[in-house]
Chain A
């Protein structure tokens, strides 16, 4: 069901364009991240990312890195989740469901390296972040996608949504 009643012009064309643009760029980002990992020579693994995790939940992330079987599963789930979420947002199919999944992934990335004061990351990072970083901003943008969907107008969801 659409939350936006286009028939009464409650959203303008520019608003729909903007929301679609936001959905496509986030979809593009997820899809490319997933595919880049899929095509990584020798196979991509989150091992380094997880093993170097910092912050209050680092032990959980590190424990995944030390278990070979779990790590292999986590790697594959991450790659394919990124690809499928990316495709969903890009084409606008099941976009609301994928926005929730995407937020879940970003939430996990965020807490692996939370930009709280006192947790130093050894790798150099561009920019300065405190509590808010790019993961959190992308998460916030996906929250917008969830509550202000555009896929029922400019996405394949249009053909799945039954009319009232």
Chain B
């Protein structure tokens, strides 16, 4: 029995009135706080939903089709990535990415890919060691959908032409230095072989006109390697633009900011690369003969006879993102300035450059700024009269402080009114160049709440299209628009003059 006095007895209830106050008021406070910090104003933007958020990756059902025989041209920097996207990983890559018997996230993502029912039957690379390395990938039994082995080694061809003529290839992946792209894609298309071509498509406007003709008349399935086409943030951006969230767009800004040797195309020279192990003549392709030069071989991006400048190597990425979102097409005129001011090593390409692409009928300009001496990250930005959009791996929309359209939304102007922020694990990289790559919205994306490699999706789209399912998103017309646009900038830079596009005769005209 308790023998408390009444006053003492009530002491046990001392905090209950405060709990009562809390109970009556907390919900209102939570809702007020949430209203202040919310970053999704879709309703206020006049959008009830985004269709693209319901996007599902189409099933390939590859088992129902006969295997496609794949040939690979070029197994250097990009080749192994493309092979993995198709389900062929080098055994060393698997070992390096397996920790204490457990595959890391990269390998898990690889194994989660759908088995596309492919055979890697042919390989050619002008550096014999790289070709041999690709063969090891072709027979690796660890791959998506693997139950047992039976993979046959891919054949190494001494030249690309031999591989195309072999009759053993249905589709080819071309990820060689830029100067070989047109010649190789043309040869494949003429032989009726489907083409996945890494960007940029060609070295000149004339080549682009000719290649487009060949591809269209051949009827093959052509995909240009721009995996941003598969990235959710760009697809969301495209829908937001279509729904006119930004109002009248007046300017589009794109950037390359790099500040390391790798980013400036000063890359390691493999000592094993000698005239004995490198087929220098095949590497030169149609370019005039010159003596063997390992720097030019391993760092071809810096030299005009092989590479396509910072515009071909870098701007093409951002152009295609913006072309995907805004359907830019070819600009009416282009002016570019810059030069090689910082790097003293042999190089033909600028390390500082600005280009302006003029679209008078659309009411906007597109700009591209490139510096190889600053790593300050600047996101691609689309400036509209009512709001601006920063887009890369994430997407943010900021309202324009003087626009009358979104006055209902009261928010700190530095905070986005719409924000797409995918899973943080999408960004799981360390090196500066790789980190900028992911931030810019390449690499991985999030679909159906799953992390997926965009290169895999892009190549799968191509494979599906070969089997008659869907169509490639970066087809020859998109490739043509991009090629002409970046080459106009290169001409302007070289000639120090404005260049216009004669759309009727499909020619660049110096002003």
Binding site for B on A (CB under 8 A): 20, 23-24, 28, 31-32, 35-36, 39-41, 47-48, 51-52, 65-66, 87, 90-92, 153-159, 163
Dominant SS among interface residues on chain A:
helix
The B13-72 residues at the A interface (CB cut-off 8 A) are 13-16, 18-19, 22, 26-27, 30-31, 33-34, 38
The B286-339 residues at the A interface (CB cut-off 8 A) are none
* Nearest CB of B to A59, in Å: 10
Residue of B18, B19, B27 ringed by the most chain A CB atoms within 10 A: B19
Say yes or no: is B11 at the interface (Cβ < 8 Å to chain A).
yes
| Contact assessment for B424 and A155 in the assembled complex, using a CB-CB cutoff below 8 Å | no
Q: How many residues of B contact A (CB 8 A)?
A: 22
* Nearest CB of A to B11, in Å: 6
| Contact assessment for A48 and B424 in the assembled complex, using a CB-CB cutoff below 8 Å | yes
Q: Specify the chain B residue showing the minimal Cβ separation from A35.
A: B26
Residues of A within 8 A of B22 (CB): 28, 31-32, 90
Q: How far is the CA of A1 from the CA of B48 in the complex (A)?
A: 58
Pick the residue among A51, A87, A154, A159 that contacts B425 (CB under 8 A): A51
| Contact assessment for B15 and A24 in the assembled complex, using a CB-CB cutoff below 8 Å | yes
| Contact assessment for B14 and A154 in the assembled complex, using a CB-CB cutoff below 8 Å | yes
Residues of B within 8 A of A23 (CB): 15
| Contact assessment for A159 and B12 in the assembled complex, using a CB-CB cutoff below 8 Å | yes
Q: How far is the CA of A91 from the CA of B423 in the complex (A)?
A: 39
The B145-185 residues at the A interface (CB cut-off 8 A) are none
Say yes or no: is B414 at the interface (Cβ < 8 Å to chain A).
no
Q: How far is the CA of A156 from the CA of B427 in the complex (A)?
A: 49
Residues of A within 8 A of B425 (CB): 51, 65-66
Residues of A within 8 A of B217 (CB): none
| Contact assessment for A39 and B34 in the assembled complex, using a CB-CB cutoff below 8 Å | yes
> Do A91 and B16 contact each other (CB < 8 Å), given the known contacts A40-B34, A48-B424?
yes
Residue of B15, B26, B27, B34 ringed by the most chain A CB atoms within 10 A: B15
| Contact assessment for B12 and A158 in the assembled complex, using a CB-CB cutoff below 8 Å | yes
| Contact assessment for A90 and B423 in the assembled complex, using a CB-CB cutoff below 8 Å | no
Q: Specify the chain A residue showing the minimal Cβ separation from B33.
A: A36
> Do A20 and B14 contact each other (CB < 8 Å), given the known contacts A51-B423, A66-B425, A163-B2?
yes
Residues of B within 8 A of A65 (CB): 425
Q: Which 7 A-B pairs have the closest CB atoms?
A: A158-B12, A154-B14, A51-B424, A39-B30, A36-B30, A90-B19, A24-B15
Q: How many A-B residue pairs have CB under 8 A?
A: 61
> Do A153 and B26 contact each other (CB < 8 Å), given the known contacts A39-B31, A90-B19?
no
Q: How far is the CA of A20 from the CA of B12 in the complex (A)?
A: 11
* Nearest CB of A to B15, in Å: 5
Q: Specify the chain B residue showing the minimal Cβ separation from A156.
A: B12
Q: Specify the chain B residue showing the minimal Cβ separation from A50.
A: B424
Q: How far is the CA of A157 from the CA of B27 in the complex (A)?
A: 27
Q: Can you list 5 pairs linking A and B with CB atoms under 8 Å apart?
A: A32-B26, A39-B34, A154-B11, A155-B15, A159-B2
Residues of B within 8 A of A24 (CB): 15, 18
Residue of B22, B26, B33, B105 ringed by the most chain A CB atoms within 10 A: B22
Q: How far is the CA of A32 from the CA of B33 in the complex (A)?
A: 12
| Contact assessment for B18 and A90 in the assembled complex, using a CB-CB cutoff below 8 Å | yes
A155-B15, A159-B2 known, 19 other contacts, Cβ within 8 Å: A20-B14, A20-B15, A23-B15, A31-B22, A32-B30, A41-B34, A47-B423, A51-B423, A52-B424, A66-B425, A153-B11, A153-B12, A154-B11, A155-B14, A156-B12, A157-B12, A158-B12, A159-B12, A163-B3
Q: How far is the CA of A28 from the CA of B3 in the complex (A)?
A: 31
Residues of B within 8 A of A41 (CB): 34, 38
Residues of A within 8 A of B13 (CB): 156
Q: How far is the CA of A47 from the CA of B2 in the complex (A)?
A: 49
Residues of A within 8 A of B30 (CB): 32, 35-36, 39
Q: How far is the CA of A87 from the CA of B424 in the complex (A)?
A: 33
Q: Specify the chain A residue showing the minimal Cβ separation from B16.
A: A91
* Nearest CB of B to A37, in Å: 10
Q: How far is the CA of A20 from the CA of B13 in the complex (A)?
A: 12
Q: Specify the chain A residue showing the minimal Cβ separation from B421.
A: A48
Residues of B within 8 A of A40 (CB): 34
* Nearest CB of B to A32, in Å: 6
| Contact assessment for B26 and A92 in the assembled complex, using a CB-CB cutoff below 8 Å | no
| Contact assessment for B11 and A91 in the assembled complex, using a CB-CB cutoff below 8 Å | no
Residues of A within 8 A of B3 (CB): 163
Residues of A within 8 A of B19 (CB): 87, 90-91
Q: How far is the CA of A29 from the CA of B22 in the complex (A)?
A: 11
Residues of B within 8 A of A90 (CB): 15, 18-19, 22
Q: Specify the chain B residue showing the minimal Cβ separation from A39.
A: B30
The B260-280 residues at the A interface (CB cut-off 8 A) are none
The B383-424 residues at the A interface (CB cut-off 8 A) are 423-424
Pick the residue among B11, B18, B26, B424 that contacts A158 (CB under 8 A): B11
* Nearest CB of B to A77, in Å: 20
* Nearest CB of A to B394, in Å: 13
Residues of B within 8 A of A156 (CB): 12-13
Q: How far is the CA of A53 from the CA of B12 in the complex (A)?
A: 41
Residues of A within 8 A of B11 (CB): 153-154, 158
Q: How far is the CA of A142 from the CA of B18 in the complex (A)?
A: 20
Q: Specify the chain A residue showing the minimal Cβ separation from B108.
A: A66
* Nearest CB of B to A75, in Å: 14
| Contact assessment for B15 and A92 in the assembled complex, using a CB-CB cutoff below 8 Å | yes
| Contact assessment for A91 and B34 in the assembled complex, using a CB-CB cutoff below 8 Å | no
Residues of A within 8 A of B12 (CB): 92, 153-159
Residues of A within 8 A of B424 (CB): 48, 51-52
* Nearest CB of B to A31, in Å: 7
Q: How far is the CA of A88 from the CA of B203 in the complex (A)?
A: 72
